[in-house]
A and B are shown apart, each in its own frame.
Chain A
Amino acid sequence: MSKVLERNNVHIQGAGAKAMMFAHGFGCDQNMWRFVAPAFEADFRTVLFDHVGAGGSDLSAYDRAKYSSLEGYATDVVEIARELEFSDAVFVGHSVSSMIGVIAAEKAPGMFGKLVLIGPSPRYIDDAGYTGGFSAKQIEELLEFLESNHMGWSAQMAPMIMGNPDRPELGEELTNSFCRTDPDIAKAFARVTFTSDNREDLARVAVPTLVLQCSEDIIASQDVGDFVNRTIPNSRMIVLKATGHCPNLSAPEEVVSAMRTFV
Chain B
Amino acid sequence: MVSLDFTDMVENAPCGYVSLSPAGRMEYVNRTLTGWSGHTADQMIGKRFSDFLTMAGRIYYETHIAPLLRMQGSFDEFAIDVIKADGQRLQMIANATERRDTDGKPLSIRLALIRATDRRRYEQELLRAREAARTGERSAEVNLQREHETSELREQFIAVLGHDLRNPLASISAGVRILDRTVQTEKERQVIAMMQTTVMRMAGLIDDVLDLARGRLGGGIRLNLDFGKPLEPVLMGVVDELRLASPGRIIEAEFKIERPVNCDGQRLGQMLSNLVGNALTHGSSSKPVIVHAETREREFELWVSNAGQPIPQAAMDKLFEPFFRGNAHASRQGLGLGLYIASQIAKAHGGELTVSSTSEETKFTFTMPLSPEARTSGK
Q: Tell me the A residues contacting B by CB distance below 8 Å.
A: 25-28, 31-32, 34, 95, 134, 138, 141-142, 144-149, 151-152, 175-179, 194, 216-219, 243-246, 249-250
Contact = CB atoms under 8 A, between A and B. Distances in A.
Interface string B108-149: 000000000000100110010000000000000000000000
Contacts of B71: 28, 31-32, 34, 178-179, 249
B25 to A, nearest CB: 9
Given A176-B76, A178-B71, A28 B64 contact: yes
Contacts, number: 93
How many B residues are at the interface, by size bracket?
20 to 34
Nearest to B123: A148
Taking chain A's interface residues, is the majority helix, strand, or loop, or is none over half, making it mixed?
Answer: loop
A178 B120 CA distance: 24
Given A149-B64, A243-B24, 19 more contacts: A27-B64, A27-B67, A28-B68, A28-B71, A145-B56, A145-B57, A145-B79, A146-B60, A147-B124, A149-B78, A176-B68, A179-B71, A194-B59, A244-B24, A244-B62, A245-B63, A246-B63, A249-B66, A250-B70
Taking chain B's interface residues, is the majority helix, strand, or loop, or is none over half, making it mixed?
Answer: helix
B72 A177 contact: yes
Interface stretch (B47-55, B213-221, B250-258): B47-55
A139 to B, nearest CB: 9
Contact of A145 (B22, B60, B62, B68): B60
B214 to A, nearest CB: 44
A164 to B, nearest CB: 17
B369 to A, nearest CB: 46
A128 B296 CA distance: 91
Contacts of B64: 27-28, 149, 151, 179
Nearest to A141: B56
Interface string B34-54: 000000000000001010001
B105 to A, nearest CB: 11
Contacts of A179: 64, 67-68, 71
A157 to B, nearest CB: 14
A250 B24 CA distance: 11
B195 to A, nearest CB: 69
12 contacts: A27-B63, A28-B63, A28-B67, A145-B81, A148-B124, A179-B67, A179-B71, A218-B50, A219-B63, A246-B66, A249-B71, A250-B66
B153 interface: no
Contacts of A243: 23-24
Contacts of B24: 243-244
Nearest to B23: A243
B259 interface: no
A144 B70 contact: no
A66 B58 CA distance: 29
Nearest to A249: B70
A32 B24 CA distance: 18
B55 A26 contact: no
A146 B64 CA distance: 11
Nearest to A34: B71
Contact of A245 (B66, B68, B75): B66
A243 B71 CA distance: 17
B77 interface: yes
Given A34-B71, A244-B23, A246-B66, A219 B59 contact: yes
- What 3 A-B pairs come out closest when comparing CB atoms? A27-B63, A145-B56, A148-B79
Contacts of A216: 23, 48
B62 A134 contact: no
A176 B23 contact: no
Contacts of A175: 76-77
Contacts of B54: 141, 145
A134 B58 CA distance: 11
A177 B76 CA distance: 11
Nearest to B71: A178
Contacts of A219: 59, 62-63
A175 B79 CA distance: 14
B17 to A, nearest CB: 20
A218 B63 contact: no
B55 A138 contact: yes
A144 B128 CA distance: 11
Nearest to B128: A147
B301 to A, nearest CB: 53
A3 to B, nearest CB: 29
A178 B60 contact: no
Contacts of B59: 142, 194, 218-219
B76 A142 contact: no
A178 B56 contact: no
Interface string B300-313: 00000000000000
A194 B58 CA distance: 14
B55 A134 contact: yes
A203 to B, nearest CB: 27
A218 B55 CA distance: 9
A34 B70 CA distance: 11
B56 A218 contact: no
A148 B120 contact: yes
Contacts of A138: 55-56
B126 to A, nearest CB: 10
Nearest to B25: A243
Contacts of B62: 217-219, 244-246
A145 B62 CA distance: 14
Contacts of B127: 147
B67 A141 contact: no
Nearest to A168: B72
A22 to B, nearest CB: 14
A216 B25 CA distance: 11
B88 to A, nearest CB: 15
A101 B156 CA distance: 62
A249 B56 contact: no
A250 B81 CA distance: 24
